[in-house]
Structure 1
Amino acid sequence: MAAFQFDLKPTGAQALGLQWMQLIPACLLIGMLGALMTIGVGLYAPCMILVSLMGMNPIAAFPIMMGSCAFLMPFASTRFILSGKYQLRASLGLTLGGVPAVLIAALLVKSLPLYALKWLVVVVVLVTGIQMLRSAFASEPKFSDPQ
């Protein structure tokens, strides 16, 4: 994404769809990125990078990410719901807050200049990556097991 921003890679990606030979690996990669969501890694920034690398218009990342999450969440949440290892009040609060948040994000993302949005994605991915590496190399975990 940074290479696109610095004009090191040619832009001009305007496609809103993929051919079968690109669609199958893209779906597999989105599936892997979706699996990372279950451990707390967000999907929008990696999805936008994947969409750009596949030669698509980065604007297509938002509906792809939303569709992926819509299919992912029922399957990912089933285990937690059946085991009772979730907090109902927190889940309800996130659900109720998520509805207007998605509407606001959809309007904001649509009105935000694509150039600025790409830089925002680069910064988010870099900061998240650095935090994950620092956490991985920490001598002791930052959390404690409640059991």
Structure 2
Amino acid sequence: MSAVVIILALIVLINVTFAVRFIVDVVKHREEIKKEPGNGIMLAFSSTIIFFFSTFGVSDFAISSIFYRKAKLVSDKKLPGTLNTQCVIPVAVMALAFITVINVDIKTLVVCIVAQIIGAYIGPRFVVKLSPKVIRRFIGVGLVIATMFILAGKFNLVPSGGTATGLYGSKLVIAAICLFVYGALNNIGIGSYALTMVTVYALGLNPVVAFPIMMGACTFSVPIGSMQFIKYGEYSRKITLFTSTFGVLGVLVGVYLVKGLDVSMLQWVVAAILLYSGVSMLINEFKASKANKESQHSAA
């Protein structure tokens, strides 16, 4: 049995485990789900679109953060958990597709996957203890950082990558450390796609190798962290239910039907949206913090 077959089998195993825990939780809280905000048709449509673009590396974390907050579908407290749980099944489909069609060094893939799993496993234990204010600040900074990476690539300010399909020595160690951090960041609502892509480019790998690494690492690390969020109940069950179904449809279209889609203009639009959302979120948080201090000062 080849290493690739083993990895694919493990992807199926861990995601089936997540699916079982999620289904048990949904059945247990089915009455609560009916009371959660969100129209079924809207969620079906948005899930398909979000994960269609996610297939091309456009962060579903970033887009979802903007949409869910604007539509008031989930509280800031439950946003990180929702961002993680909603993408588990769609990302598993991406990983299975990309790992089978793109050539990547198995050792590099395995090291990156393991590093991100460890980061994701540790993260939720601390994230659920954070206040909504801290989470908003993290997400705001994350959106701005994601925008900077996109713009840096558009203006050729970061390396465009090389032709290698694997990493060795110190470069592999650097990649492992970065993926560990990205796994932890996933749990506070900061997506790892853009970060992983830039890391891959900077280390001299063929840019296309970013896809199996991104999806492969996430499809192991995100379920690990997501099962922690399910345990604590810190996520939207309704949103996750719809993305686990209709998000997969978006992925299948993205992977198998429109691989040649030119997303250059889309990247500019997404960059503008992310920058606006991230900056406005941070400004609003600063204003709220300032108003709170003034209120406390007046009361004193």
TM-score by length of 2: 0.39
CA distance in 1, matches of 2:236, 2:156: 46
> Would you say 1:49 and 2:198 are equivalent positions?
yes
Matched letter for residue 245 of structure 2: L
Query: In 2 relative to 1, CA 9–41 (structure 1 residues): closer, same or farther, beyond 3 Å?
Result: closer
1:87 Cα deviation from its structure 2 partner: 3.2
Contact in 2 for aligned 1:45/1:124 (Cα 8 Å): no
Contact in 2 for aligned 1:14/1:57 (Cα 8 Å): yes
Greater RCO (CA < 8 Å, at least 6 residues apart): 2
Alignment of 1:8-27 (within 5 A): 13-27=162-176
Provide the aligned C-alpha RMSD in A: 3.1
| Percent of matched pairs sharing the same residue | 36
1:65 Cα deviation from its structure 2 partner: 0.9
Higher helix share: 2
Report what 2:288 is aligned to. 140
Residue 111 of structure 1 aligns to a residue whose secondary structure is: coil
CA distance in 1, matches of 2:158, 2:182: 24
| Partner of residue 128 from structure 1, selected from 262, 268, 274 | 274
> Would you say 1:98 and 2:247 are equivalent positions?
yes
Report what 2:236 is aligned to. 87
Contact in 1 for aligned 2:161/2:201 (Cα 8 Å): no
Contact in 1 for aligned 2:159/2:202 (Cα 8 Å): no
Report what 2:221 is aligned to. 72
Structure 2 portions without partners, runs of 5+:
1-148, 290-300
CA distance in 2, matches of 1:12, 1:90: 36
TM-score by length of 1: 0.71
| Partner of residue 39 from structure 1, selected from 188, 193, 196 | 188
Structure 1 portions without partners, runs of 5+:
142-147
CA distance in 2, matches of 1:109, 1:21: 37
Q: What do the CA deviations read for 1:2-29 (whole angstroms, capped 9, x no partner)?
A: 5665566775611111113111211221
Matched letter for residue 131 of structure 1: S
Contact in 1 for aligned 2:192/2:214 (Cα 8 Å): yes
Larger Rg: 2
Matched letter for residue 193 of structure 2: Y
Residue 249 of structure 2 aligns to a residue whose secondary structure is: helix
CA distance in 2, matches of 1:3, 1:132: 17
CA distance in 2, matches of 1:113, 1:91: 29
Contact in 2 for aligned 1:48/1:58 (Cα 8 Å): yes
| Partner of residue 63 from structure 1, selected from 212, 217, 220 | 212
